[in-house]
Amino acid sequence: MLASFFATFIVGLREGLEAALVVGILVAYLTRLDRRDALPRLWAGVGLAVALAVAVGAVFTFGAYMLTFEAQELLGGGLSLLAVAMVTWMIFWMQRAGRSLKAGLERGVDTALRGGVWALVAIGFVSVAREGVETTLLLWSMVQSFGSEPVALVGALLGLVLAVVLGWLIARGMLRLDLGRFFTWTGGFLVVVAAGVLAYAVHDLQEAGALPGPFRAGAPVDPATGLVVTGWAGFPFGWAFDVSDRLAPTSPIAALLQATVGFMPAMTWLQVVAWVVYLAVVVPLFVRGVRAHRRPGGSAPRATPAPTPIPADARVPAARDAALPASDAGRVPDAAASAPDPNGAS
């Protein structure tokens, strides 16, 4: 139970902190432009994005009960595959776009302020909805895999709450956090978690009959091992191993292994191959991305600095400030100016 709590807590913390930092950048930029009147529209978009994430989770959770067993397994496997794809893409996207994220968000705000009333609502919605839906899919897949729904959901909720608090403290300049190191370590953890979710997705699809496996009735059994030995073209689609008699699936150790590295006491060959291939491809790419974004000399990333106070006589008029480029020397730095470079780049 503690293992499932820890895994979902880390996921909720990382994904929530990404969203909190994005919102912090948008709020700080509107405040610096002296456009606090636009903040309600931004918060409306953020609220709609949160509502969408909650609605997606509710539909997947309660809607599955009306389906047949095969349909439930097919839905679970398909959504788990989607969650793995979204998480993997997001990890590498953040590695590439981390340095330009703030500038891109501010350009979007400038465009939205020149648009209609709903333009800024759309900025808040799009900025958070992607993270929200991705987090919902990943947590839903993890909860289905762990089987301990209350504990896993509590862990995710606490992680999200802590992410909001940390994001607020960083935006206010009250907390110095090494975001580069944080996102690097949690990104590596997410890669391993995604491999486990992929293995569980294969398990669901095999149970649904979408992939060949040992779950169909009348499958042949090896008399020496007692394992189902279905195969095709020389590849075994049956069980790779089953140590359930020595490691109970409900034991704390089994829960810890499944929550951290995706290991299950009984796994099919397709699950093992999917897990190994995913890690063999993604881990080297992730490590190469981390190394590529390190600063010259290999020095550690800088922590988030505190905000620079803005003198009363140094404020830039809103109209002129909105037209200045991000590199203009007259622009006053804000608390979120150096916040979310997930790769620790300055």
Looking at residue 80, its pLDDT comes to: 87
pLDDT band at 236 (very low <50, low <70, confident <90, very high): low
Q: pLDDT tens for residues 28-78?
A: 888 888 888 888 988 999 999 999 988 988 887 777 667 777 888 888 888
Looking at residue 265, its pLDDT comes to: 86
Q: pLDDT tens for residues 75-100?
A: 888 888 998 998 898 888 877 776 67
pLDDT band at 314 (very low <50, low <70, confident <90, very high): very low
Q: Could you give the residue ranges of the DSSP H alpha helices within the chain?
A: 2-32, 39-63, 69-97, 101-114, 117-146, 149-171, 179-208, 252-261, 269-292, 318-323
Q: Is the pLDDT of residue 284 over 90?
A: yes
Looking at residue 313, its pLDDT comes to: 43
Rounded to whole angstroms, the Cα distance separating 64 from 57 reads 11
pLDDT band at 8 (very low <50, low <70, confident <90, very high): confident
End-to-end, the C-alpha distance of the chain in Å comes to 39
pLDDT band at 280 (very low <50, low <70, confident <90, very high): very high
Among 168-172, 252-256, 279-283, 308-312, top mean pLDDT goes to 279-283
Mean pLDDT to the nearest integer, 104-117: 81
More confident residue, 65 or 103: 103
Looking at residue 333, its pLDDT comes to: 41
